Amino acid sequence: MDISVVVITRNEGPRLRLCLASLHEALKRMGSSSAEVVVVNDGSLDETSVILERFANILPLTAIHHAQSKGRSASRNAGAERACGRLLLFLDGDTIVAPQCLERHVALNAEGHTIARGEVYHFRQPRFLRDPELGELFPEYNTRPIEPHEFMREADVRQGFPALHSKAVLGIYPGSVPRRLAELELLALKDSSLQHSLWMTVSAHNFSVSRESFFSVGGFCESLEMNEHRDLALTLFESKSIPVRLIDGAESYHLCHSTTWRDPLHILAEWEPLFLERHTNSEARLLPFFWMSLSEPTPLPEELVIRSVPELITKARGDLSSFEKFRQLSPLFGGG
Cβ atoms of residues 269 and 334 within 8 Å? yes
Using the predicted structure, report yes or no on whether residue 242 has a pLDDT greater than 80.
yes
Distance (Å, rounded) from C-alpha 301 to C-alpha 281?
23
Cα 30 to its chain centre, rounded Å, is 23
Question: What is the CB neighbour count within 10 angstroms for residue 17?
Answer: 24
Strands 61-66, 87-92: pairing is unpaired
State yes or no: pLDDT of 35 exceeds 70: yes
- How confident is the model at residue 261, as a pLDDT? 65
Cβ proximity of 63 and 52 under 8 Å: yes
Instruction: Report d(CA 324, CA 320) in Å as an integer.
Output: 6
pLDDT tens for each residue of 60-81? 999 999 999 999 999 999 999 9
What is the mean pLDDT of the segment spanning 209-218? 96
3-262 homologous superfamily: Spore Coat Polysaccharide Biosynthesis Protein SpsA; Chain A (3.90.550.10)
Q: Tell me where in the chain the CATH 3.90.550.10 domain(s) lie.
A: 3-262
User: If you ran DSSP here, which 8-state letter would residue 71 be given?
Assistant: -
Give the residue-averaged pLDDT of 215-222.
97
Distance separating alpha carbons of residues 148 and 58, to the nearest angstrom: 29
Whether residue 137 has pLDDT greater than 80: yes
Q: How confident is the model at residue 191 (pLDDT cuts 50, 70, 90)?
A: very high
